[in-house]
Amino acid sequence: LYECVTWSFMADDMAGHFSQDAKVDALKLKNPISNDLNYMRPSILPNLAQAAARNADKGLGDTALCEVGPVFRSVKTDGQDMVATGLRAGRVGSKSWVSEDADRAVDAYDAKADAMSVLAACGVPDTGFQITRETPSYYHPGRSGALKQGKKVLAYFGELHPGVLQDMDLKKNMSGFEV
């Protein structure tokens, strides 16, 4: 994955799609730097999705991006989390006839493998995970999951919801994770 650094701000329509909380209006900035950057981001995924779309517009359609940064749930002191986020768009594998990798579209299993790699790099043992379907609404309902240990959610992973992709005017299938 290639590391990105994106704004901690986003447009209000994206903030609404990617907020896990109905209180997204609490994250609205009173004095934004621009009209399309008027909310604190509740997720890094839309910023990475926009970066992947800009890459695709320049001919780099198969993209793997990541960012570690803050996301915001509320204006309270404990309302900010540091999250490692990754996104893959387009296809994975090689198009060469000499490669053993299959050329295929990215899917939820790619995002799960990325999330598991991040957790392993953080020293989290790779045993004892429970995989549940309890994911935020911006993930595809049948192609996503949460990695949990007990009641604690360690990561979300999966394909982005087709309706969200359509609303963001994104043409490619995208899979991502949040740890």
Q: How far is CA 71 from the centre of its chain?
A: 11
DSSP labels, 9-76: EE-HHHHHHH-SSS-GGGGB-SS-SSTTS-EE-S-SHHHHHHHHHHHHHTT--SEEEEEEEEEES-SS
Segment 66-93 mean pLDDT = 89
Q: How confident is the model at residue 23 (pLDDT cuts 50, 70, 90)?
A: low
The fraction of the chain above a pLDDT of 90, given in percent, is 46
pTM given for the model: 0.88
The fraction of the chain above a pLDDT of 70, given in percent, is 91
Q: How far is CA 32 from the centre of its chain?
A: 24
Closest-CA residue to 155 (of 147, 165, 144): 147
Q: State pLDDT tens for residues 82-104.
A: 999 999 998 887 666 666 666 78
Residue 175 has pLDDT above 70, yes or no: yes
Q: How confident is the model at residue 76 (pLDDT cuts 50, 70, 90)?
A: confident
Provide φ and ψ at 163, rounded to 5°: -65, -40
Q: What angle do CA 74, 8, 131 make, to 5 degrees?
A: 65
